[in-house]
Amino acid sequence: MKLTGEKQGRIHICLCEDNEEHLKRLSDTVKHVAALKNWDISLTMFQSADDLLVALESGKECENVYPDVIFADIEMPGTNGIELGKRISRMLPDCYFIFTTAFEEYAIHGYEARAYRYLLKPVTAETVSQTMEQILNEKERNKSLLLKDQGLEVLVSLKDIIYISAEDKYTIFHSKETSYFDKISLKKCENLLSKYGFYRIHRKYIVNMKHHKKVGKGVVVVSGGTELQISRDREEAYRKYFMAQLEKGMLE
């Protein structure tokens, strides 16, 4: 078993803003937040949507790596931010597109372009920090496991795993549609997945808290209504861990 994309690596960010002063201010804010958070970023700036689209189509932006995040103004000469957002959603469906504008009434158009967020100017360090933290949390949750199931390599998204159980010589990964078998130990699974919202509730079970439904006396109920035994000495710690994950927004 192997966790794919275990390290976040460099975050590629594009800024698109026709006002040079606003572009510099946003650039300085993003760099400041990245330095505080110790994020490894590359930053590319454009003063028009058309320039950004040309760079994307030629593959020359961000050192030949497509952006993870785009911050773009709405009102720009030529192609405006709304149209840019629509084209980005078709070209780069995995890219997080964020509108920045001084006009609150444009918010509804952000949804038309499938924007991830809509930020009012002036964009603050706090807003950038909160938005990027949410993005990075989502990217963490979208990781996958490469399992060796009966001789075949199978890629399974972490978010699809409801719980993991130890049975005989195998560790079984239970999803909504099917179950996958691997010979990795439950202890290794616990060590690998605990930082991604997985919690060991019993010597035989690990639960993906994203699929938590309720916890009662001696039992945890997960998606699909499956009831799993929880050890008495783990129940209080499980409740506290669940609340901590909820407060961090890791269970959305």
Q: What pLDDT digit, counting tens, does each position of 89-108 carry?
A: 888 877 899 999 876 655 55
Q: For residue 3, list its beta bridge partners.
A: 145
In a domain, 34, yes or no: yes
Among residues 21, 16, 19, 5, which one has the least CA distance to residue 43?
A: 16
Distance CA 65, CA 146 (A): 24
Split into its structural domains, the chain has a count of: 2
Distance CA 250, CA 133 (A): 11
At 218, the amino acid letter reads: G
Say yes or no: 136 and 152 in one domain: no
Are the CB atoms for 164 and 189 separated by under 8 Å?
A: yes
In a domain, 252, yes or no: no
Among 121, 141, 161, the domain boundary falls at 141
Are the CB atoms for 219 and 228 separated by under 8 Å?
A: yes
- CATH code of residue 81: 3.40.50.2300
- CATH code of residue 164: 2.40.50.1020
**34 CB neighbour count, 10 Å cutoff:** 18
Say yes or no: 25 and 118 in one domain: yes
Tell me the pLDDT of the chain (252 aa) as tens digits.
666 654 456 899 999 999 999 999 999 999 999 999 999 999 999 999 999 999 888 765 544 468 889 999 988 999 998 899 989 988 887 789 999 987 665 555 555 566 788 888 899 999 999 999 988 877 776 778 888 887 788 888 888 999 999 998 899 999 988 999 998 899 999 998 988 889 999 999 999 998 999 998 899 999 999 999 999 999 999 988 888 777 665 555
In a domain, 68, yes or no: yes
Among 90, 109, 141, the domain boundary falls at 141
Among 141, 166, 182, the domain boundary falls at 141
The residue whose two tokens read 């078998």 is 181
The boundaries of the domain holding residue 233 are: 144-247
Say yes or no: 13 and 65 in one domain: yes
Distance CA 103, CA 120 (A): 7
Distance CA 63, CA 65 (A): 6
